[in-house]
Structure 1
């Protein structure tokens, strides 16, 4: 396991808003490099020298700021090529087949989406194919393009724009979630028919694992330094203090410290990412997305998510109804997985995000760590609710035996997929730095915020 460097040992002062934030860094250009502002708590620190296998964590909230890998370009390139080859095999070969009473069906991976289109569910089909095939393929090709240029020491065209896109693609790749959905589907079918796994199934399992390793192998800190160097932080930058009162922010894409304009916005000098002191209208956008997700969660549970036809009898099944049926048939693990992914996770995420929004006006350092951890958990688990949508996609494509047995998607499939997407967007719209901001006084600004239209000149010298 990799070692972690504790930045609290380097920044000797602990976060305490009652003490003046001083001790500015030296004004030499070299001392103004390797500075980072934590994206989750806004604490400004200096990164220590890192060796491969080591990580640097924020001393305030524990967020990982940088991770160093051994031979990062070669490592990422090799994993991306292997993952892409596994994906091509998964698309080209038979995925899974079933047989019952002499009647069967065999499908390819892409049929999980094309069958949904034929059943008038184009939006669900688009979500399935994007999250499992298209976006991962774009991601892998982007990694190969970037790392090949870095190894040649000659950047290929559009390298910076492609590097920016990688961080935005990452949350929407769900190959690992699709594998869980496939296993749940096959276990459900195994009790009714004979199931055979094709080579594409095992290739996709390898692809999901290799894709995960590829995303973890990317050393963003090293990559951006290799792509564009590292300009020095603005003069007067104070480490061991919050970035916002200094008129500074860290780029969420490349990590570079930038000075914001009077309106609290700007562009990153290194990657050109749009920057904000805090995400604009973060709470309003989060509340709107949560409300929309809550409204759609009702039809997602009232209407059937899939309709099963067996020996001429048609039986609609809701999410809760499917869980109860599985439980009654003794499939306790599968019933538990569906219940957690489709009921516990969405409801918990709605409640947790709403609670965090309500706590922002009473935020501060006292409960900041616990609330930040809650935010991380809700952001991580939200995508796993897609398991039920993938189960429907696989079963609809696989179980096609005329009146003997067939499965069609229900109206709830689209509603539930929209709930998953909206809750993910709500987590992205929420700015976790608000958790650490001092409570708002009557003026509407944090107690230690600079006055409006301040030029934010040298903070340390002003003090």
Structure 2
């Protein structure tokens, strides 16, 4: 365990007018002028210390990670990205899973988990599945390879900045790891009714999901943006130890650079749109939460899938499916489905609504606690897609006519909409508003104790 450097001891003097506009001194060896960052969660302006491999710098006010340094970041992320693409290619080439029941069976490939939904008039769900488990991860990995190849040869390739800016926006929508959980739930659910055999593509996709996760964690965004465009100096008069908004500044959420705000502000380094606070953040969050709440009603009232066995059809709602799993003795699977389909979406709706209310009202909980709650809601939202992936896999796999078949119900689209809307609601909510509201003294001051950082 490598100790991270405490951020409070570094302070940057005001920059004189005669200084150059871009500092090209490598960040790991700079010792005189510190690089400044405005925390994207609490807006606190801090100075980054030089970081060695395995170290990270955290905001002294809220604990948000400002920068993480990895060993050989370009080579590492490029190797992982190439390996992940190879695993994905194998996953779409070989059989994914097969089942046999009563002398009748079926074998599917990975892509059929999406294409089979189109035949049941569920094109929107099919598009969402194929995008989140294959297309967006592949685009992300290709973007990583394009970027790192240019950086390794010392000359960024064309459109590198636009690609680097897009990577951060793609990351939340890649759900290979969630799909693996959905696949495991599906296989466990079917194991009592049929013989299940996993194909080479299943193991290849498990490998792909792991490599994709490692690739996202290996990206050193701070180093990458410095390598692409250097480090433009902070605006004249920038002060640490206070928030950026009162100084007329804003930190870029994509590359981290502090910029001066004006009527049409864009980041000087990456071109991202800048705002002191996200415009109409609360109104947009409330609107998305209201839409998600309305869609959650049909998602629970209508069947999410219909099972046909020996000519008899049995529709199943989300809660009904959980009850059936309990009756079958599959308690672990029932708990997973109940958590992902009921606890997580409902909890996220209430949590985001409560956070919106706390922006305008005082609370016993301090701003730091509210920020931690926001991080939790942002992290868990995507895992509700487990139920949608379970439906996609079962519909593709169980197609034996009147003997046994599963068809998607209208609740699949409604529940998928709930997941997307709650994710968008978390993205539109600006956690910096929590620190603007009245809060106890201890929540508005930086913490004195140094934080521990894990090796990258």
TM-score under structure 1 normalisation? 0.90
The corresponding residue for 2:342 is: 343
CA change 1:103–1:154 in 2 (3 A) is same
CA contact (8 A) 1:3 1:53 kept: no
The corresponding residue for 1:431 is: 430
Describe the superposition over 1:183-240 as per-residue Cα deviations: whole angstroms up to 9, x where unpaired: 0000001110000000000000000000000000000000000000011000000011
Give how far 1:366 is off.
7.1
RMSD of aligned Cα (Å): 1.6
The corresponding residue for 1:178 is: 179
Task: Say yes or no: does 1:328 pair with 2:327.
Answer: yes
Give how far 1:364 is off.
9.2
Task: Say yes or no: does 1:372 pair with 2:371.
Answer: yes
Give how far 1:390 is off.
0.1
Within 1, Cα distance between the matches of 2:344 and 2:131? 22
Query: Which portions of structure 1, spanning 4 or more consecutive aligned residues, are displaced by more than 2 angstroms?
Result: 1-6, 8-11, 23-33, 362-366
Give how far 1:330 is off.
0.6
CA contact (8 A) 1:105 1:401 kept: yes
Q: Equivalences for 1:19-58 in 2 at 5 Å?
A: 25=14, 27=16, 33-58=34-59
CA contact (8 A) 1:43 1:242 kept: yes
SS of the residue corresponding to residue 104 of structure 1 reads strand
Within 1, Cα distance between the matches of 2:47 and 2:14? 9
**Length, aligned pairs only:** 427
CA contact (8 A) 2:82 2:141 kept: yes
The corresponding residue for 1:61 is: 62
Within 2, Cα distance between the matches of 1:153 and 1:226? 9
Give how far 1:287 is off.
0.1
Q: Equivalences for 1:438-453 in 2 at 5 Å?
A: 438-439=437-438
Moved more, 143-152 or 25-34: 25-34
The corresponding residue for 2:382 is: 383
The corresponding residue for 1:297 is: 296
CA contact (8 A) 1:95 1:198 kept: yes
Within 2, Cα distance between the matches of 1:363 and 1:212? 38
SS of the residue corresponding to residue 5 of structure 1 reads coil
The corresponding residue for 2:201 is: 200
Within 1, Cα distance between the matches of 2:121 and 2:273? 38
Task: Say yes or no: does 1:6 pair with 2:3.
Answer: no
The corresponding residue for 1:454 is: none
Q: Equivalences for 1:232-311 in 2 at 5 Å?
A: 232-261=233-262, 263=263, 266-311=265-310
Structure 1 alignment gaps of length 5 or more:
12-22, 441-463
CA contact (8 A) 2:359 2:437 kept: no
The corresponding residue for 1:17 is: none
The corresponding residue for 1:165 is: 166
SS of the residue corresponding to residue 8 of structure 2 reads helix
Structure 2 alignment gaps of length 5 or more:
24-31, 440-456
SS of the residue corresponding to residue 259 of structure 2 reads strand
CA contact (8 A) 2:117 2:123 kept: yes
Give how far 1:361 is off.
1.3
Describe the superposition over 1:317-352 as per-residue Cα deviations: whole angstroms up to 9, x where unpaired: 000000001011110000000000000000000000
SS of the residue corresponding to residue 241 of structure 1 reads coil
Within 1, Cα distance between the matches of 2:123 and 2:151? 39
The corresponding residue for 2:75 is: 74
TM-score under structure 2 normalisation? 0.91
Moved more, 143-152 or 26-35: 26-35
CA change 1:322–1:438 in 2 (3 A) is closer
The corresponding residue for 2:145 is: 144
Within 2, Cα distance between the matches of 1:334 and 1:327? 9
The higher-RCO structure (CA 8 Å, 6+ apart) is 2
The corresponding residue for 1:418 is: 417
Within 1, Cα distance between the matches of 2:382 and 2:362? 27
CA contact (8 A) 1:36 1:250 kept: yes
CA change 1:397–1:348 in 2 (3 A) is same
